[in-house]
Structure 1
Amino acid sequence: MKVVIIVIDKHGAILQYTSQLSSALSRGNQVTVIAPIGAEKELFNNSVNLTLLPVGDTKKNFIINTLLINRALNFLKAIQKEKPDIIHLQQPHHLWNLLLFPLRKKYPILATVHDAEPHIGFERLHKIIARNWNFKYLSRAFIVHGQVEKDRLEKSLGSLGIKKKCYVVSHGDYSFFTKYSKTDIQEINAVLFFGQITQYKGLEYLLKASPLISKKIPDAKIIIAGKGDLRKYANLMETIDNIEIHNRYIPNEEVAMFFQRAKVVVLPYVHASQSGIIPIAYAFKKPVVVTNVGSIPEVVEDGKTGFIVPLRDSESLAEAIIKLLSNDELRKEMGKNAYIKMKRELSWDKIAEKTLVVYGEIVAKT
């Protein structure tokens, strides 16, 4: 099968996801990925045809590149040159997707909706317009990463009077980060909060849990690693003695270090769809403590690969973290279970196999 995947991110989670999916799909299929100039090429397998073009995920980029008509035409020509059986969009809300309108009848289009609902603080009018337009006129079907996400998306589609098929395909593993591991890094009594710092990730609940953790485990350290505005958390952070902050974008080659050092990975989210942080934690045999929100509990076995706690509940969060930090045998067993789950259920070969079934159904209806 000939597949064209379009991604508008230069780095980060969606590009990482696209690189792993396309590499797995390329075993037995012809896969082309169209990505922005500057995208991290090293993430992609040599069997993937990577085409870099001047596209981008901002209104400014879209307006400039569309006014420069040759760029828009080259984007469409790059797709038509491949004569794909299917076009697979990573995210439905990018403005560049609008340029595909002339091709919608010639090639079936599918979109992976990584977030069925915009996260708190991420609502943007131009993205909502592009997303709804895509839902109505462009994509024939959608992939989401969990049953809760499927329910959410179907509700959103229904509110627009749209009835299109939604498929559930789990988020794949991120074990490729383990290649950056170093033998001289020691695990410490640390809790890791990793990734972009945004309102919906509930960092304040981990910070409020920290004094409760310290009462039971005095040497416990909170590690925060990710880019984002920390000013609203300043007062809470001032009350914590043992905290380590890396307030910047973490490049791929540094990711392993943070997961190697930590004993537990925490996702205290107040709104979520799914998260690539969990597969990274599993790859490093780390148990997770997550909140019961979105499709996140669908990939965490409570008491086996981690603990699921109520959202906005710092006491329950602290209790779960204390339970893991104070019991090495339990923590290591859960970390081992997490790794096994990743290998059995989240391998990219399995994800690619399920994705190809979706492709086949859509192409068959064309």
Structure 2
Amino acid sequence: MQSQVNRHFKIAFLNLNDGPHGEYGALLAAAVAQQPDAEVLVIAPDSLLKGARAGAHLEGMATHAIRFDGKMNKVKSLIEVWRILRAFRPDVIHDPVGSGIGAMLPLRPFLPGLAPLVVTEHNPVVHPGLSGRHHGPARALTRRTAALIHVHGPQAYAEMRGFGMPDDRLAIIRHGAFDEYGVAARYFDRSGSKQILIFGGLRPNKGIDMLPEIFAKVRAHHPDATLLVTGERLKRIDSAMAEAMDKALDKLATMEGCTLSNARVPEEDIARLFGSCGLCLLPYHTATQSGVAMIAMTTGAPLVATRVGDLPDVIEHGRTGLLAEPNAEAIADEIIRAFDDHEATKARAEAALSFAAEECAWPVIGRQMVAAYTRLLSKGSGEDGEK
């Protein structure tokens, strides 16, 4: 019988972004670091490490700050990253940010020479309307160089298989929950609220173009319903899709009961927004998985979403939320259903909270990620490893 691979891992998290995906990477790194025999180094922008949320999770961990402002700093930082990795001698290099961030692409072809490369691919297929020349080539490069690609659900897995990725180079591990928001949200009262919350970056795939029609229909049945659209509009968007989205935003600005905020939400406001809304709406045309859904679940905010991507993997229609086809009429009908029956809506939110705590807690995610590393290294050494 073959011996098992040594389970003491040295994992370098190459977390070269300070946006939402960078924060996700910090949470994932912290979860992995809590597992037995896992030694973690996080290489990340100084701005991320100093941020209140990521910094709190990475406190006490081995980190190395880098700078990415200006072309020369980027070149120097990539050289520095290479030096740090060679000195650390990791068993695994994990890029939790994915192909959508171009900062580390010049390094990616060379990383497998140091250690097997694991990439968390948040969006195997580029969201419609996003511009940027690197998007397609970046994903193709990921598929060529990554020893293991981590996706968040079965739909993303199927998309990767469609690109020719074999089973043994794929791992499905869900997005983790956001417990800290859940604790803070308990101090706010949502009883009787009919506020519809749209949260997160505004881009064409998120169904912003449908909101005027959705909101008008909901108001016809519930005149006291309100809509809060909060999040920063993405700047690099296909011009035709941007025009349709901006037209909808202009229309919403004239509608009674609607409030728009074109800015990234301050960290300290997130728990209040989710803790006091009547429901969180994800009217997406397309999606992979959604960090917004996980915030809603952990804060007890009722969910209405579209039946696209991997949203149905975490939102079970009628049990943990309500799902609709991605058209304005169907979405509005489910919002009306949620507002018509407060007790049923509350019960679904409570079921979602339990699901997130049991299936998507970060300790669970950390264990699953380490098991994926074990299988990867076992395969590389020709040993059986952990099943």
SS in 1 for 2:163: helix
- d(CA) in 2 for partners of 1:287, 1:205: 20
Q: Deviations over 1:263-316 (max 9, x none)?
A: 1111000011110011100111122111111111111010011111001x2111
| 1:328 corresponding residue in structure 2 | 342
| 1:355 corresponding residue in structure 2 | 369
Q: C-alpha displacement at 1:178, in angstroms?
A: 3.2
- d(CA) in 2 for partners of 1:83, 1:18: 20
Q: Aligned residues: percent identity?
A: 22
| 1:293 corresponding residue in structure 2 | 308
Establish whether residue 244 from structure 1 lines up as the match of residue 250 from structure 2.
no
| 1:76 corresponding residue in structure 2 | 82
- d(CA) in 1 for partners of 2:253, 2:19: 32
SS in 2 for 1:31: strand
- 1:3–1:88 contact (8 Å) kept in structure 2: yes
| TM-score, normalising length: structure 1 | 0.90
Distance 1:43 1:16, change over 3 A: farther
Establish whether residue 281 from structure 1 lines up as the match of residue 290 from structure 2.
no
| 1:48 corresponding residue in structure 2 | 61
- d(CA) in 2 for partners of 1:179, 1:79: 37
Q: C-alpha displacement at 1:181, in angstroms?
A: 3.9
Q: Deviations over 1:107-154 (max 9, x none)?
A: 111111011101112242223223312321x21110100111011112
- 2:15–2:26 contact (8 Å) kept in structure 1: no
| TM-score, normalising length: structure 2 | 0.85
Distance 1:134 1:316, change over 3 A: closer
- 1:185–1:257 contact (8 Å) kept in structure 2: no
- 2:297–2:356 contact (8 Å) kept in structure 1: yes
Establish whether residue 147 from structure 1 lines up as the match of residue 161 from structure 2.
no
| 2:44 corresponding residue in structure 1 | 35
| 1:4 corresponding residue in structure 2 | 12
SS in 2 for 1:5: strand
Q: C-alpha displacement at 1:54, in angstroms?
A: 1.7
- d(CA) in 2 for partners of 1:52, 1:102: 21
Establish whether residue 22 from structure 1 lines up as the match of residue 26 from structure 2.
no
Give the AA of the match of 1:364: S
**Comparing 223-232 and 208-217, the one that deviates more:** 223-232
| 1:316 corresponding residue in structure 2 | 330
Q: C-alpha displacement at 1:354, in angstroms?
A: 0.9
| Pairing partner for 1:183 from 184, 187, 190 | 187
Q: C-alpha displacement at 1:104, in angstroms?
A: 1.3
**Comparing 121-130 and 206-215, the one that deviates more:** 121-130
Establish whether residue 167 from structure 1 lines up as the match of residue 180 from structure 2.
no
Distance 1:284 1:104, change over 3 A: same
Establish whether residue 209 from structure 1 lines up as the match of residue 214 from structure 2.
yes
| Pairing partner for 2:353 from 313, 317, 339 | 339
Unaligned runs of 5+ in 2: 1-8, 235-244, 381-387
- d(CA) in 2 for partners of 1:110, 1:52: 21
| Pairing partner for 1:224 from 214, 225, 229 | 229
Distance 1:77 1:297, change over 3 A: same
- d(CA) in 2 for partners of 1:235, 1:38: 33
- 1:110–1:141 contact (8 Å) kept in structure 2: yes
Distance 1:123 1:321, change over 3 A: same
- Structure scoring higher RCO (CA < 8 A, sep ≥ 6) equals 2
Q: C-alpha displacement at 1:33, in angstroms?
A: 1.3
- d(CA) in 2 for partners of 1:348, 1:330: 28
Q: C-alpha displacement at 1:156, in angstroms?
A: 2.3
- d(CA) in 2 for partners of 1:349, 1:163: 25
- d(CA) in 1 for partners of 2:124, 2:176: 18
